[in-house]
Chains A and B, each alone.
Chain A
Amino acid sequence: MNKTLVNLIITIVLAYIFSALGMDWWSVMLAASVTAYIIPLKGFKVFLMPFLGILLFWGLSAYLLSSANDFILAKQIGVLFSLGENPYLVILITGIIGGLAAGIAAIFGKQLRSLRSKS
């Protein structure tokens, strides 16, 4: 399996484990930076893989919770954010928020790793 995919999977798995342990939302940042540290990627992928991983993880979790309730609340949150009654947009934004946080935290993890490897 290539490193890119491993990074993606480990990020998701760690994020899942942290959430199951009852950790707060920023545990995705921890998951992404730890993964970036142990499985360093290169270039834009450093950001992109954890971004996609958490986007998928949060988006899917939100979708599952919301679809089980006919998206009642998601529609209202759409109105709250002036997006109209569009639950999918709210789910997408949820994913992007989590992904952004994870991606940026991964850059930090990677930088920490570069510090060690080159010294």
Chain B
Amino acid sequence: MKYLKLLISLVLTGAIFYGLDSKFGSIPPLGKFLNPYNGIWQNETDESIEGELIIEGLADEVIVHYDEALIPHVFAQNDKDLYRAQGYITAKHRLWQLEFQTYAAAGRLSEIVGEAAIEYDKRERRRGMGYGAEMAIEKMKSDPVTYNLVESYAAGVNSYINSLDPKDYPVEYKLLNYKPEPWTINKTALLLMYMTKMLAGGDDDLEYTNTLQLLGKENFDFLLPDFFDITDPVIPKETDWSYIDVPQTPTPFSELPQDTIAFKIAEKPHPDNGSNNWAVSGSKSYSGNPILANDPHLGLNLPSIWFVMQLSTPDHNSFGATLPGALGVISGFNEYIAWGETNATRDVLDWYKIEFNEDRSMYRHDGQWKPVTIRTETIKVKGGETVTDSVLYTHHGPVMYDINFMDDNPRSGYAMKWTGHMGGNNQKTFIELNKGKNYEDYVNALKNYVAPAQNFVFASTEGDIALWIQGLLPNKWEGQGKFLLDGSNPEHDWQGFIPQEFNAHTKNPERGFVSSANQHPVDEAYPYYVFNDGYETYRNRVINDFFNSKDSFDIQDFKELHNNNFNLKASELVPYMLEHMNKDGFNENEQRVFNEMSNWKFNNDLDEVGPSIWRSWWYNLYQMVWDELDSEDIALSKPYDYQTIYALTKFPEHDFMDIVETTDTKETAHDLFRLSFEKAVVNLMEWQEKNGAYNWNNYKGTYAGHLLQGLPAFSRFDIPIGGDRSIVNATSKNHGPSWRMIVEMTSPPTALGIYPGGQSGNPGSKYYDNFISDWAAGEYLELNFMPSASNATGTISTQTLKPLQ
């Protein structure tokens, strides 16, 4: 009997140990997770920012002053120490994010979250993310200086990781029950790939191909033109291109593959990924100093994608937004120059139809069979069996879609050609910008930059302003890569690249300002084929109109422009709709909403109802107009908003306006205005019933979601901020200005900055989300640009990193 009792109690003890030490589904191991010694209670604190620390590998002491925003001001004696310290400090505040983003880039999320991520991981592997990172490392190796610094950064991150006990791991590790692994150079390369995918990993070639097959060329060109009837390009129209002496690739006389792609096409980057930047010259500035601004629009996540730092050596002193995982300041300034980026989308991702031989060891090209190379991807899965996937590589690039992924034809596949695979020393560009002193340094720094192509805005204390569109951009023949290309035809291969010096740029233009907002880089006069599926058409015009509207601009003007909520898109359609729609026989709600709409001044401010009505109305109208393009079987492209409004107002009787379902009537645009309005009112009333007043603040419901699938506990909801996509204040529900910066080129520069997050990655820190309210209110932090370690004011604490003696 007593042995039985002993046995039972032993089993019970074992069971409770196992039960509390293991993870079940999404429930963390409760004993590990909740105990006060090394569970989450140890994260209920801010990071330590005082005292002295020994960091192996440092050559000299590094002083880190923290200001009240928890911004570290790092003062090192040389570059190697500086970037080692950057790695260490970044890891200290953002370790989980730092690592998680590179797992996501590498297609390794299954290792953390299990089976649910296999599909995602496969896709990222097939996209060649790891391959691209390897190419970038090869490139970096040819530049020992950069390579050394990236190694130092890695060593700094590892110094921090090695200093940790399990109790110190960020809370996400405890929740998911895993631990950090060593940081490597490869991870920096992967982080840069993550950004490249985010900003230059989208294309609609396959959808375009399907749409062309369905509609024919005439209708296709009407709906999806290369240029809209207005362009206000990044590089001013009046630019003289006569110095360009390398011609565009001549167009071959060959056919495009007639293909309809019937499989599901992999998820794309967020269509609103984009940004604003601008700079005014001294002549247009209230003080005579150029002023520069930047606000990159990305997903609103916590921890934020940006981490603000000052990075200083006796040789240079830079300040601004860094990307955890990359070296140097990405959008910021130093004592002499300021820089910032917006995405310069261009079609740098093309698809080639591949024909395989019987056993898929060869593919057809230039009349011959050429061997494929196989890259075996091994995906480890938490709590499951390892998955292997063989990805076939052609000289174009990886065959993403084939019989092993989405498609079902054993003899064909779709290979991608992408500048993201070409390897670039992008890191060098940023390291050199951080040290730049003038326009020449800026231009030289940009030369190394490959992808994602960016509009690099520039201003200097010497008084120059400039904007270069920089990236490795293929010199395409007219129309090349807009649709699926023939992978066997060498004429369809990329024939070369636009020489770097002929990348479009402008320096000190007569109009006294430069700006970019993801619109067309140039107009048709630029002598190369410039195409991208979708350029922004609204923010750029509001920005340029503003800078053309008067002669002098001050900091307040810049702030107001960042926070400008004018909805140009709505203003170009709503008056037309209100005028031309049938207004007879409204019910009570319709009449009220109609009146509300008539009173709207087109500002997407918090307390307005107009923006909510507009969104609902536009959504329903858009669905009705393009019902011809609804398909469950194949992926199609629908026209952009600008072209939709163009069609609605200029061709209201066009066949596309007809609703296909109603076979007995033929609707016009004017009919659609009324029909979609009625539907919008019903939607709004339903929404109101459930959620209360439909003012813009409530209706939009802006939030910043935690990087781990938006985990509500660590996310912030109902952030009171106006704006929307296509508005200069581009804040939509979960996307928007991820960093706002204004720099006046005084000597030294005076700067403001803010982002929707906080410096700490720890949800248990008061610095986790403390910038959000100020950001939403359109306020900024004054960036405390400390001249030197000994001449520092406004510090709340200092930490000294010491070399191992």
Contacts and interface: CB of A to CB of B under 8 A. Distances in A.
A104 B13 CA distance: 6
A68 interface: yes
B36 interface: yes
A1 interface: no
Interface string B9-44: 110110011001100000000111011111111111
A94 B766 CA distance: 23
B13 A29 contact: yes
Interface in B318-374: none
- The 3 A-B pairs at the shortest CB distance, nearest first, are namely A73-B764, A25-B35, A61-B36
Given A73-B40, A76-B714, A97 B2 contact: no
B5 A77 contact: no
Interface string B166-194: 00000100010000000000000000000
A72 B764 contact: yes
B2 A65 contact: no
Nearest to A74: B44
19 contacts: A22-B165, A25-B37, A25-B38, A26-B31, A28-B35, A65-B41, A65-B42, A66-B44, A69-B766, A70-B766, A72-B763, A72-B764, A77-B713, A78-B713, A94-B35, A98-B35, A101-B16, A104-B16, A111-B2
A115 B2 contact: yes
Contacts of A93: 34
A99 B410 CA distance: 60
Nearest to B34: A94
Contacts of B17: 26, 29, 101
Contacts, number: 127
B13 A62 contact: no
A58 B713 contact: no
Nearest to B26: A80
A97 B30 contact: yes
Given A28-B35, A65-B45, 10 more contacts: A25-B20, A25-B38, A61-B37, A65-B41, A65-B42, A69-B45, A73-B44, A76-B714, A80-B175, A94-B35
A76 B6 CA distance: 41
Contacts of A35: none
A100 interface: yes
A107 B763 CA distance: 38
Nearest to B29: A25
Given A25-B37, A26-B17, A80-B711, A69 B2 contact: no
B713 A25 contact: no
Interface string B749-792: 00000000000001111101000000000000000000000000
| Chain A residues touching B, range | 35 or more
Greatest chain B CB density within 10 A among A69, A76, A97 is at A76
B712 interface: yes
Contacts of B9: 104, 107-108, 110-111
A118 interface: yes
Contact of A73 (B20, B43, B165): B43
A56 B245 CA distance: 81
A62 B41 contact: yes
A110 B5 CA distance: 10
B36 A76 contact: no
Interface string A77-106: 111100000000010011001101100110
Given A93-B34, A114-B2, A61 B12 contact: no
A28 B36 CA distance: 11
Contacts of A70: 766
A22 B46 CA distance: 21
A33 B700 CA distance: 56
B713 A80 contact: yes
A80 B40 CA distance: 12
Greatest chain B CB density within 10 A among A58, A73, A108, A114 is at A73
Contact of A72 (B5, B21, B44): B44
A19 B6 contact: no
B171 A65 contact: no
Contacts of B766: 69-70, 72
Interface of A: 19, 22-26, 28-29, 33, 58, 61-62, 65-66, 68-74, 76-80, 90, 93-94, 97-98, 100-101, 104-105, 107-108, 110-112, 114-115, 118
B45 A68 contact: yes
Contacts of A71: 44
Contact of B713 (A79, A110, A115): A79
B265 to A, nearest CB: 35
Contacts of A79: 712-713
Greatest chain A CB density within 10 A among B6, B32, B36, B768 is at B36
Nearest to A78: B713
B622 to A, nearest CB: 36
A76 B36 CA distance: 16
Contacts of A115: 2-3, 6
Nearest to A98: B35
Contacts of B16: 29, 100-101, 104-105
Contacts of A66: 41, 44
Contacts of A65: 36, 41-42, 44-45
Contacts of A118: 2
A2 B2 CA distance: 26
Contacts of A19: 36-37
Contacts of B3: 115
Nearest to B45: A69
Contacts of A114: 2, 5-6
Contact of A58 (B36, B42, B46, B765): B36
A26 B13 CA distance: 11
Nearest to A112: B6
Contacts of B713: 76-80
B2 A73 contact: no
B768 to A, nearest CB: 8
Contacts of B171: 73
B744 to A, nearest CB: 36
A73 to B, nearest CB: 3
Greatest chain A CB density within 10 A among B16, B34, B711, B762 is at B34
A115 B13 CA distance: 17
Contacts of A77: 40, 713
A73 B711 CA distance: 14
Contact of B764 (A24, A58, A61, A76): A76
Nearest to B763: A76
Contacts of B165: 22
A94 B41 contact: yes
Contacts of B711: 80
Contact of A101 (B10, B20, B42, B765): B20
Contact of B38 (A24, A28, A78): A24
Given A68-B45, A74-B44, A97-B31, A111 B36 contact: no
A76 B706 CA distance: 12
A70 B40 CA distance: 15
Given A72-B765, A79-B713, A25 B45 contact: no
Contacts of A78: 713
B28 to A, nearest CB: 9
A8 B16 CA distance: 21
B34 A111 contact: no
Greatest chain A CB density within 10 A among B13, B16, B44 is at B44
Contacts of B38: 24-25
Contacts of A100: 16
A18 to B, nearest CB: 9
Interface in B285-342: none
Given A65-B45, A72-B765, A33 B13 contact: yes
Contacts of A61: 36-37, 41
A58 B10 CA distance: 23
